Structure 1
């Protein structure tokens, strides 16, 4: 039984570490969500669910790292000028990427944007705060401890495949969507997971993927498009021209547009060719598939 749980050096295999992280983290997130239902109505607006979910993942991460006697910074979670620059560049990059998708859809005649009837800056800023919580939660969950232990066990390529697939399946896809649209939305989400994984791999820090994730989601909402199927109200409202839903994304949002697939594919190519700050700083981890022996 030793070989099932331990590697040749007697260390717990990374697959068990990942499972040992996920189960208590899932419990902690659920517990915090339940506790939030007990809060007074006047307090609930100040405790957004995404930040509670992020807190649950962070607590689970700290527990797993404590068992390994590793600091939080070992996962690429820290503050400072470098992470701040990565975060800012990520927010801008996410906005540019989704902006390109929007321009392509508009040029193809899928829709046009009209100014919202009563745009409010406070609502847009509140949406930015909410999307920051979503990005922190999802990136810490999908590209923090779990992702990095899977890399150690299976190697970088298969870790990208597995976590991008989980990232995709974790997002809801309306069964009432046309089949081609649903396929495009799932492919886009898978590619987004791969791109965000590369953002971590090229910097060995979560600041860049958190920034990209936030910038993409927030600018989607500002333009009035749905965010992964969730309705949003921004400074503009898209008016669709009756073109195929897989072209414009329809009610699901631009993530169900074929142009998202093209733009994300180009971003992945660019990130793959970019050596990144991790290579310059000499912190690139081994990506040898022989690590699978430690799974």
Structure 2
């Protein structure tokens, strides 16, 4: 859909205003978390971030005279199933990536005895809340606001750019921000477009982050501790990055094919109705 220039500009400004407000909400959540030193940071930041981002979404929807269902944030009978499918796909992607890295023969994993069932549950909840905050903040109002004005490619690239910037400002290296978060943003956005909601990308996102934590990909506090031989660390890191890019591009290709098929099917249906 091609909108007039004034409406395109309006959509862009509304999306940018939301991004800025959501970023401010994340900063506020991080400040509040400092006052709860005994609480898991992921849960405090994620929980407060979700509430503030949902409140912002409600305010912007009222501004645009829209409803939550217009941007794919309404619960329906298939929401839980889409979330579970997303979890399954995300777990499979983590397992595939870990298998590729393990094939180098220079990586080993040992069980971290300091992490018990409570620690696993806390991590699962924390990463789930953080993923939910990001999905609402990026694949909710902004993506759906930009889509009619700039199309699938334009909207995706804009959301990806802000997603990369947020992770870079959060301390990620440029390579991790662009290749890691950037490709992830494209995959999650396409999953949201295919299903017209955030349940599937939320499952994907949460499963990937939690699975990466489980295998020691986020430091030495996961369920397993990853050990890489020092002499081969550069090679293993290269393999890990190439594997990640390959896995994400394959997922993006499959989702894009599904989206294209849905568009063709809906087009045929529209022609049938008009005839």
Uncovered stretches (5+) of structure 2, i.e. residues with no partner:
268-275
User: Which of residues 143, 147, 153 is equivalent to 1:151?
Assistant: 147
CA deviation string 1:42-71 (max 9, x = no partner): 778796111111211111110010122211
Mapped to 1, the partners of 2:220 and 2:209 lie a distance apart of: 10
SS for the counterpart of 1:81 is coil
Judging by fraction of residues, say which structure has more helix.
2
Q: How many equivalent pairs are there?
A: 265
1:268 corresponds in structure 2 to 252
Distance 1:58 1:148, change over 3 A: same
1:183 corresponds in structure 2 to 175
Mapped to 2, the partners of 1:171 and 1:11 lie a distance apart of: 27
Kindly report which structure 2 residues correspond to 1:5-84, keeping only aligned pairs within 5 A, or say none.
Answer: 7=4, 13-35=10-32, 37=34, 48-84=44-80
**TM-score, with structure 1 as normaliser:** 0.77
- With 10-19 and 99-108 compared, the bigger mean Cα shift is at 10-19
- With 216-225 and 111-120 compared, the bigger mean Cα shift is at 111-120
1:237 maps onto 2:228 in alignment? no
User: Which of residues 226, 236, 247 is equivalent to 1:248?
Assistant: 236
Mapped to 2, the partners of 1:31 and 1:185 lie a distance apart of: 22
Uncovered stretches (5+) of structure 1, i.e. residues with no partner:
1-5, 284-295
**TM-score, with structure 2 as normaliser:** 0.82
1:113 corresponds in structure 2 to 109
Mapped to 1, the partners of 2:167 and 2:117 lie a distance apart of: 28
1:217 corresponds in structure 2 to 209
The CA deviation at 1:9 is 8.4
1:200 maps onto 2:200 in alignment? no
RMSD: 3.4
SS for the counterpart of 2:167 is coil
Conservation of the 8 A alpha-carbon contact between 2:42 and 2:127: no
The CA deviation at 1:224 is 1.5
